[in-house]
Amino acid sequence: MAGTVSNEPYQRVSSENGAYEGALIGTAIGAGGAGAGVFGARMHYKGIDKRAERHLKAIESREPVIQRKINKVNAQAENPRMSFMQKAKSTIADAGINQINNLRNAQLNGLNAKNEQMRNVVDSVYGANPAVAKEADISRRSHYAQSYAEINSHYDNVIQGSNFSKLKKQVEESLENKRARLEKNRDVKVNKLNKELGHLSAGRQKWGEDGVKLMKQKHPYTHVKGIGRSAAVIGAGALIGGGAGMILGGLTDEVNKHVEQ
């Protein structure tokens, strides 16, 4: 009793109770703290596997979501969508340039037809005068090549100096600016998403088989060995129960004493 009376729980309650009641209540409080600590550690230890299972399921569910977000942001930066006005301008520019190219193709087709006629003429005189035919064929080839280059150069200059080309250039510059903004935004978002993936990877390592094994090895409950675990829990329960019984018995005796008087 002397050792019990001198403990800290007793000191906290003895000022409001008698020594007998204070000793019993102090004993119960002290034993309850010890028992609750071991019991709580045991419950926490036993729940590690379930917590690991929940964490891993959450990680497996989250990882593909993040990866889809990364793919989407990358696609947006690589292929920025045109606005309504950009599409309209691009359509007008393409239509105008196509018209100019149609004129080019028509003139080139005429050149090809004339060249084919000249080839037939050269072939027809080749048997009678090979030297003349050969010289005429060289002239034909040179004229065709020069005319072909001049036609293409002319229409390239027409397209380049047209409003259609200027309009198309505006659309391209606008898209390039948009792409630059999207790439900057992508770098920020992807960096953030990659960090989240890193956290998930660390969580997978923490709650994986090896991580759980290490967690159990380091857990305080692991260091309460064998009989000591049972003794601590049972002993704490017995002290609490015994203390409560003694307190109840003491109160009953006190009531009976007053009744007999």
Q: What is the pLDDT of residues 154-198, one digit of tens each?
A: 999 999 999 999 999 999 999 889 888 988 999 999 999 999 999
In this predicted structure, what is the pLDDT of residue 236?
Answer: 43
How large is the average pLDDT for residues 67-86?
89
Q: What is the rounded CA–CA span in Å between residue 254 and residue 260?
A: 10
Query: pTM for the full model?
Result: 0.47
Q: What is the rounded CA–CA span in Å between residue 4 and residue 225?
A: 26
DSSP summary character for residue 18: -
Choose between 238 and 211: higher pLDDT: 211
Q: What is the rounded CA–CA span in Å between residue 159 and residue 151?
A: 12
In this predicted structure, what is the pLDDT of residue 209?
Answer: 86
Q: Which of 110-114, 226-230, 244-248 has the lowest mean pLDDT?
A: 244-248
Mean pLDDT of the chain: 77
Record the tokens describing residue 96, joined without a space.
């105008």
Highest mean pLDDT among 1-5, 84-88, 249-253: 84-88
What type of residue is 44? H
- Confidence at 70, pLDDT banded by 50, 70, 90: very high
Q: What is the rounded CA–CA span in Å between residue 176 and residue 180?
A: 6
- Confidence at 38, pLDDT banded by 50, 70, 90: low
DSSP summary character for residue 83: P
Burial of 20 (0-12, 13-18, 19+ CB in 10 A): middle
Q: What is the rounded CA–CA span in Å between residue 11 and residue 30?
A: 11
Q: What is the rounded CA–CA span in Å between residue 117 and residue 119?
A: 5
Contacts of 103 by beta carbon, 8 Å cutoff, 6+ apart: 155
How large is the average pLDDT for residues 62-89?
90
The size of the chain, in residues, is: 261
How large is the average pLDDT for residues 69-82?
88
